[in-house]
Amino acid sequence: MIKTVAIQGIKGSFHHIVSQNYFKTNISIVPFMSFDQTVDSVLKKETDAAIMAIENSIAGSIIPNYALIDTNNLHVVGEYYLDIQHNLMALPNQKIEDITEVYSHPMALLQCKAFFKQYPHIKLIEDKDTAEVAERIHKKQLKNTGAIASTLAAEIFELDILATSIQTIKHNETRFVIVKQDNSEIAEAEINKASIKFELDHKRGSLATILNVMSDCKLNLTKIQSLPIIETPWKYAFFVDVTFQDYQDFKKAKSIMDIMATHFKVIGQYKNAKI
């Protein structure tokens, strides 16, 4: 049973939104300032699970988070997709003309750069976290200061939204995973997606052979990514996500792939969040 969840960022952050949307029951969230710290808290059993952004439609896979999950042998027990929308917010009763400085995470500033071109009087300043700026504006009642954050952050820290969805690329879907130290307790009947990792030699046709097994076992591939194995030339690690209708099919594929590939590992088996 998951009761406490480690998230990156404070209340009002995108990880907080995911924790609210994913968990139907009441859970308490524990905020951390880095992904390393969220994983540490799970390993030390201070929290039951962690939520981690793992890929997004603009920047692709977040490889350091894959590495954190893999090297610490955490298990993915669920996934959630969130369409990330950035909003400009400030203390109530201020207009965009009153804002002289906007603080946010470098990535958020970058994604909203085009919007601010219309407002050359606003200075953009890099900060640690999107929601934390919203909190600071609220706590210190900072006038003339804007934050770029979620609508949830605006709600929690009683700020007014001056402009919605100000990022240049309107569709920015981010995939989050829920990770735990032990394997999931999801019933087999509910499992219809899995994340696996394996290694192959740089030998002609070796990946094709594995994919043929997946196909024969009725698995659909939804993601594949190769990563060279550091310090081991000509060896590659593959991270693959597959969906399936029947868990028995996946079980069959697993037992074959385990023989055919080196270091075969199931990173997680869970419920597909896309219908």
Which CB atom, from 121 or from 202, has the smaller least distance to a copy of itself? Answer: 202
Residue whose tokens read 């999801």: 186
Q: How far is the CB of 63 from a copy of itself (least distance, A)?
A: 4
Which CB atom, from 46 or from 125, has the smaller least distance to a copy of itself? Answer: 125
Whole-angstrom distance, CA of residue 99 vs CA of residue 90: 8
Q: How far is the CB of 91 from a copy of itself (least distance, A)?
A: 27
Which CB atom, from 211 or from 273, has the smaller least distance to a copy of itself? Answer: 211
Q: How far is the CB of 103 from a copy of itself (least distance, A)?
A: 13
Indicate the burial class of 28 (C-beta count within 10 angstroms; 0-12, 13-18, 19 or more). Answer: exposed
Which residues of this protein are in contact with a copy of itself, per CB under 8 A?
Answer: 57-61, 63-64, 106, 126, 171, 202-205, 207-208, 211-212, 214-215, 218-228, 230-231, 233, 236, 238, 274
Which CB atom, from 24 or from 274, has the smaller least distance to a copy of itself? Answer: 274
Q: How far is the CB of 111 from a copy of itself (least distance, A)?
A: 11
Whole-angstrom distance, CA of residue 45 vs CA of residue 48: 6
Q: How far is the CB of 212 from a copy of itself (least distance, A)?
A: 5
Which CB atom, from 8 or from 19, has the smaller least distance to a copy of itself? Answer: 8
Which CB atom, from 92 or from 205, has the smaller least distance to a copy of itself? Answer: 205
Which CB atom, from 4 or from 225, has the smaller least distance to a copy of itself? Answer: 225
Q: How far is the CB of 27 from a copy of itself (least distance, A)?
A: 29
Structure tokens at 61: 């896979």
Q: How far is the CB of 231 from a copy of itself (least distance, A)?
A: 7
Whole-angstrom distance, CA of residue 29 vs CA of residue 113: 31
